[in-house]
A and B are shown apart, each in its own frame.
Chain A
C-alpha cells in the first residue's frame, strides 16, 4: 500500500497549525487513494549531544520525558487523522534548515518511500525541506496546493498543476489550505521511533538570531495607498481583512497618521518587498518582487497580477473578508 507522508513541525511541543492542515489534506488524499497516512516528527534527542542546547535559536522541540511528550504529540496527530506516527530523533538542534534536519528527514524518506509528501506551507521547515525533498526523490513539486474533489481527490496548485491517484511518480506538496475535518476518535495508534546516525550539516553554522524587519517578511502583507487609508470605511475593512489573513498592514507615514498602519510598519516610497503574498489597496508606493503573489483591490489588474477587484474598495474588502471569515 502506498504511503502518504506528512512532515510535522512542532511549536512548543505541539504540532504546528499549518502542519495539521497538511495532515488534514493528507488524510483526505490517503483515504481517496487507498494509502496509509504517516505523520513524521523530527525531535532533538538531548541524550545524544547535550552541548547543542546552548546554540542560539534552537527550538524547544525535544522529547523530554519521552513518554508524556510523545503521547501528547501522538494524541494530537491521531486526532488529526494520522494512521501511523514516525518520531525521528536527531542529535542536531531543531532549526528549520535542511542542514539541521536533512539527515533525519532522509531516513524517513528511505524508510517509507512515500508516494506523496506533504508539508504545511506555513510551517517553519516547509520552505527548506519541501523543495529539497522533491529534488531528492525526483518528484513534482506543488506550492500552496489544496485538495479538490470528493471521490477522486486530487491536489492542485494555483498554477493549474495537479497530482492524482493515477499519476506515475512521486509528488511533494506544500499545503496552503485543507478541509476542516472532524476530530478522529482513536488516540491509540502506532508510533515508530527512529534514531538515524548523523547530525547537522557542519557547512551551515547558525551564529545568532534576532527579530526580522517587517520589510523582509516572507509572509502576507497588505499595502495600503495614501488615498485609501484616508477613508475610515476602507481602513476598517482593511484591518478586518488583515486579521483574517494573518497579514501585516504596511503603508506610508501618511497612512500611519490615518491610523491604519502601525508605527513599525511604515515604509519608504518604493520600498522593495518580497512577501509570499501582497494585497494592495488603492495604489501604494511599493516595489514588489516578482516572486510575490499580487492581488489588487481598487486598481486594475495586469501582467503578473493574480487577482484584481476593481470598483468601490470598501464594499469589496468587506465582502472579501466576510467570505474568508466564513471558511
Chain B
C-alpha cells in the first residue's frame, strides 16, 4: 500500500502585499495534489479572499478567524494545529506573497517534525514522492521529497489586473483556536506589537541605508578583515572594547592567554560536562599543547563559555525548558522572554 501525501497549502495570515498572482500560483501548485486543502488565518476579509481564490480552483478551504498579530512561530503554531486536524503530511507555503511568510516554512517544519524546502519554483507529485525544483543562489536544484515535508513555494499564477471583491464564503470551514488546541492568551505571547504602517524612505541617505543591507558583501582582504561597511564602523569603533574594560584579543591579552598559569588542567578537556561526546569532541590545539588556554580564568574571555553553569544560565541564554522542547511551541507556550517578545521600536 502506498501513502500519497495529504497536502494542505498555507496561505498565511494576511492578504498579499502586491499582486495576488502568487497566491493563485500557490493554489494552482496545491491543486496538482488530489484532496489538497487551502488554509488561511486572520481577519474575515482576508479569509473571504482566500476562500474565493481557492474555490475558483476547486480547492476546499479552512479558515482560522482571529485578530491576533503573531510572529513567524505563532502563525506556524496555528497552521500546525490545522495540519494536525486535517492529517496533512505535506504543507505548501506561499512564501512569495508577503515577506514574513518565508520564516514560517522553517517554523512549520520544526513544529511538524518534517523536512523543509524553501525557494521552490516548480513542483510535481509522483505517487508517494514529490519532485521539486528550488533556487539556491544562482543554481536550480532538483530534489525528490519522500515523506512529510513543508515546502515554501514561489510560483506565480496568471497575471491579474483586477479581481472581483470576494463575498463572504459559506464553503470555508472555520476552526477557532480552541478547536486547534491553542489558547489565545498563551499564543498571544508570540504577538507582535502593533506598528504604524511604514512610510517609504524618501531621502538618498535613508534609501542608501536600506539598500546597504542588501549590498553584495565585499570579499575579504588578503590580510583578513571582513569587507564590512565603513559607515557602520564609524559608529561602532569604540564598542570593540568589552564592558569590563578589557580589549578583546589585544596583543597583551593574547600573550596572557598563553601564559601557563592560565592554562587549564588537561583533564578538563576530557570532562564529559565539556563535551557531548568526549571521543568526538576534541580540541586540536589541546592535542598539541595540553597547556592551552581554555581555562575558566582565560584572560581573553574572563570565563570559559563552555562552563555548563554559564552557558545554561537563563540570564545568558534562553531557558532550555521553554526553548528546547518542541512540545512547548506546539502548545503555544512562549519560548522567549516577554520583554524580548515585545522588544521593538521604530527604526
Contacts and interface: CB of A to CB of B under 8 A. Distances in A.
A272 B156 contact: yes
Interface stretch (B56-64, B175-183, B225-233): B225-233
B239 A1 contact: no
B210 A158 contact: yes
A120 B217 CA distance: 9
Contacts of B239: 28, 31-32, 149-151, 153
B216 A34 contact: no
Contacts of B25: 272
Interface string B322-347: 11101011000011111111011111
B265 to A, nearest CB: 15
B202 A307 contact: yes
Contacts of A158: 210, 213, 347
A131 B72 contact: yes
Residue in B19, B244, B335, B345 whose Cβ sees the most chain A Cβ within 10 Å: B335
Given A163-B343, A293-B99, A186 B249 contact: yes
B320 interface: yes
B221 interface: yes
Interface stretch (A73-81, A227-235, A252-260): A73-81
B337 A169 contact: yes
Contacts of A188: 254, 258, 285
Contacts of A132: 106-107, 109-110, 116
Contacts of B229: 146, 177-180, 327
B118 interface: yes
A220 interface: yes
A185 B251 contact: yes
Contact of A140 (B230, B231, B328, B341): B341
B132 to A, nearest CB: 9
A196 B294 CA distance: 21
Query: How many B residues touch the partner, as a band?
Result: 35 or more
Interface stretch (B37-45, B46-54, B136-144): B136-144
B310 interface: yes
Interface string B288-303: 0000111000001111
Interface string A202-229: 1111111111110011111000000000
A288 B241 contact: no
Contact of B280 (A180, A184, A194, A217): A194
B18 interface: yes
A135 B144 contact: no
A296 B116 CA distance: 34
A131 B228 contact: no
B238 interface: yes
B240 A31 contact: yes
B76 A135 contact: yes
Nearest to B343: A167
Interface string A303-327: 1111111100000100110011011
Contacts of B300: 83
B248 interface: yes
Given A3-B305, A127-B118, A290-B22, A159 B347 contact: yes
A202 B146 contact: yes
Nearest to B105: A131
Contacts of A43: none
Contacts of A180: 225-230, 232-233
Contacts, number: 497
A137 B318 contact: yes
Contacts of B251: 185-186
Given A80-B224, A185-B251, A289-B154, A160 B243 contact: no
Interface string A164-203: 1011111100001111111111101011111110000111
A101 to B, nearest CB: 12
A139 B131 CA distance: 32
A38 B311 CA distance: 13
A298 interface: no
A27 B232 CA distance: 13
Nearest to A186: B254
A135 B200 contact: no
A163 B345 CA distance: 11
A106 B101 CA distance: 23
A306 B220 contact: no
Contacts of A121: 213
Contacts of B111: 135
Contacts of A51: none
Contacts of B164: none
14 contacts: A17-B220, A21-B217, A81-B249, A128-B116, A146-B213, A181-B225, A195-B280, A201-B115, A272-B25, A289-B19, A292-B99, A305-B200, A320-B204, A327-B215
Given A186-B249, A272-B25, A327-B215, 15 more contacts: A1-B311, A15-B220, A28-B236, A34-B244, A70-B284, A127-B118, A135-B107, A140-B336, A159-B347, A193-B281, A206-B143, A272-B159, A289-B96, A324-B208, A326-B230
The 9 closest A-B pairs by CB, nearest first: A168-B337, A138-B335, A246-B216, A176-B213, A79-B224, A169-B336, A290-B17, A301-B200, A272-B156
